[in-house]
């Protein structure tokens, strides 16, 4: 799974050494057995964060984006509805620059991708995303989010 705009595909090299290291780590690591936590892949430039959580209803979620990192969000267990849209023109709800996160109100129109175990999506700094949404009812999930420095 890979989602981006053609202009961003030209702007970024999604096969540079940092991305390749992230993909290799995801492929060669027993993700199911990893406890929640942070794992350095290439120092602070490529870091994996393992999350175990309960998916939430769309109404309870906000969009988010990051300025300094790409996200490679890889679902390990469960099923997740993942919202995606361009962040241009979105209304800021809250900014936390110390954590490289900006939260946005939901726009009227946006897309969704359904992630199943083994699926991943790469989101660039220009992409707003709303991870962790449930399909029908909240359910347990496990995900690895690899942060790749721009």
pLDDT at 101: 97
**Cα–Cα distance between 137 and 132 in angstroms, integer?**
12
* 9 phi and psi angles, rounded to 5 deg: -60, -35
pLDDT at 147: 98
Handedness of CA 56, 146, 19, 96 (dihedral sign): positive
pLDDT at 116: 96
**Cα–Cα distance between 60 and 150 in angstroms, integer?**
29
The first and second tokens of residue 87, run together, are 């962040």
**Cα–Cα distance between 90 and 5 in angstroms, integer?**
17
* 92 phi and psi angles, rounded to 5 deg: -70, 130
Evaluate if pTM is beyond 0.75: yes
Average pLDDT along the chain, 150 residues, taken 10 residues at a time = 72 91 97 98 98 98 97 98 96 96 96 95 95 97 98
Number of alpha carbons in the 13 Å side-chain half-sphere of residue 35: 0
Strand arrangement, sheet containing 92-96: 92-96, 101-104, 63-65, 127-133, 80-86, 111-115
């Amino acid at each position: 799974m890979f989602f981006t705009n053609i202009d961003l595909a030209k702007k970024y090299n999604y096969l540079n050494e940092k991305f390749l290291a992230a993909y290799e780590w995801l492929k060669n690591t027993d993700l199911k057995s990893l406890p929640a936590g942070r794992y350095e892949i290439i120092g602070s430039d490529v870091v994996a964060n393992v999350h175990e959580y309960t998916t939430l209803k769309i109404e309870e979620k906000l969009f988010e984006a990051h300025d300094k990192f790409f996200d490679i969000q890889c679902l390990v267990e469960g099923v997740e509805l993942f919202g995606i849209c361009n962040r241009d023109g979105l209304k800021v709800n809250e900014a936390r620059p110390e954590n490289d996160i900006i939260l946005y109100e939901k726009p009227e129109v946006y897309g969704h991708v359904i992630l199943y175990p083994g699926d991943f999506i790469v989101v660039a700094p220009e992409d707003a995303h709303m991870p962790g949404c449930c399909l029908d009812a909240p359910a347990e999930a496990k995900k690895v989010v690899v942060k790749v420095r721009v």
